[in-house]
Amino acid sequence: MEKSQLINLIGIPEARLKATLAEWGIAPYRALQVLNWIYNYQVERFDEMTNLSKDLRGRLARHYYVELPKIAEQTFSKDGTIKYLFDLANGSQVESVWMPDKKRNTLCISTQVGCRLACSFCLTGTLGLKGNLSTAEIIGQYMAVNRELPKVDQITNIVFMGMGEPLDNYQPVCEALRLMTSPRAMRISNRRITLSTAGLVDKIEQFKNENLPVNLAISLNATEDSTRNEIMPINKKYPIRVLLDCLRSYPLKPTRRITFEYVLLKGINDTPGDAKRLAKLLHGIPSKINLIPFNGFAESDYQAPAEAAILAFQKYLLSKNYSVFIRKNRGTDILGACGQLAARSFKETSVTVSS
């Protein structure tokens, strides 16, 4: 059978696999055995799934294949960060970034090729939306990188903060999260996964009902609509108040908080007035604030504030009893930091991006 007529088994929801096996007259527990082979033993050939009958293995092989996205290139930063460039089946490319730290190894994964939200401080946003990743391509980034890494460096945490707006690719992202956190599939604790959104309020409302209690991060980046409209055009559709009101009823588990990401742009959103407004806006929402000094790229005129301004911003919020962290820039020398991902396809078809 031609491969083009087969389906990648990676990313297929458990319920769908069970339904297919049921049509074949096969008991549902066989689906769980298949998931176990794929996600825990990382087996890619059906004839290695030795607890399945020969007949079932043959049948699976006639309908499915198992394939991870291909790592086309790895770029190493002097701070230990590794950027992975993936070739997708349709010829597009996306990037993931692995960031080692003392206590955790975090993988930042992509959900779209490019992004339609056009935030002005983000290189991905300059691409426009080129396409959505499938569930297989989303979880495949994690599986492919982990397969490359030595045991000691295995990924402990996943952040959906790479290329794309995760909630703009809603169904594949939810299916990826379900497989990642399922005890019958990838078995990753939902506490170790963070979904970041620029604030698609209609999709956050929908996500509230998915029963996927992963961490939620909001890319806020401004305290006034006039500024946020400028730097994040999505704010014209969902202004700050509307976004925060939606978050006030977000079904957080006890002790969990919503993370607010705040990219600090010199002279734009870094004033003492901004710090004051931010403290007021987040009042009543269980919050954690990550301050991210802007990571430059060639096409951008923005700059990071001076260190003293960043520290003063943090100090004010700390004085209002918020947990506030200044996020270290990781992988800036390889364009691997927040807002710098654009994949080689962009560099080849547009102006040169200097690192």
Stretch that binds ligand SF4, among 10-18, 52-60, 112-120, 298-306 (CB under 6 A): 112-120
CA distances, 308 to each of 159, 271, 272, 293 (Å)? 29, 12, 12, 12
Contact between 119 and ligand SF4 per CB under 6 A: yes
CA distances, 354 to each of 53, 162, 199, 350 (Å)? 54, 19, 30, 12
Contact between 231 and ligand SF4 per CB under 6 A: no
Catalytic site includes residue 119: no
When binding is defined by CB under 6 A, the residue of 56, 82, 115, 218 that contacts ligand SF4 is 115
* Nearer of residues 139 and 195 to ligand SF4, judged by Cβ: 195
Does residue 240 contact residue 281 with C-beta atoms inside 8 Å?
yes
Closest distance of CB 169 from ligand SF4, Å = 11
Residues 144-173 that bind ligand SF4 (CB under 6 A): 163-165
Angle at alpha carbon of residue 212, lines to 97 and 11, rounded to 5°: 60
Contact between 125 and ligand SF4 per CB under 6 A: yes
Determine which one of 137, 210, 338, 348 is catalytic: 338
When binding is defined by CB under 6 A, the residue of 198, 200, 222, 317 that contacts ligand SF4 is 198
Angle at alpha carbon of residue 249, lines to 247 and 250, rounded to 5°: 60
Contact between 117 and ligand SF4 per CB under 6 A: yes
* Nearer of residues 105 and 124 to ligand SF4, judged by Cβ: 124
Determine which one of 95, 137, 165, 175 is catalytic: 95
CA distances, 270 to each of 121, 227, 274 (Å)? 14, 11, 6
* Nearer of residues 21 and 200 to ligand SF4, judged by Cβ: 200
Contact between 335 and ligand SF4 per CB under 6 A: no
Does residue 250 contact residue 291 with C-beta atoms inside 8 Å?
no
CA distance linking residue 303 with residue 296, whole number of Å: 7
CA distance linking residue 129 with residue 71, whole number of Å: 22
Catalytic positions are 95, 338
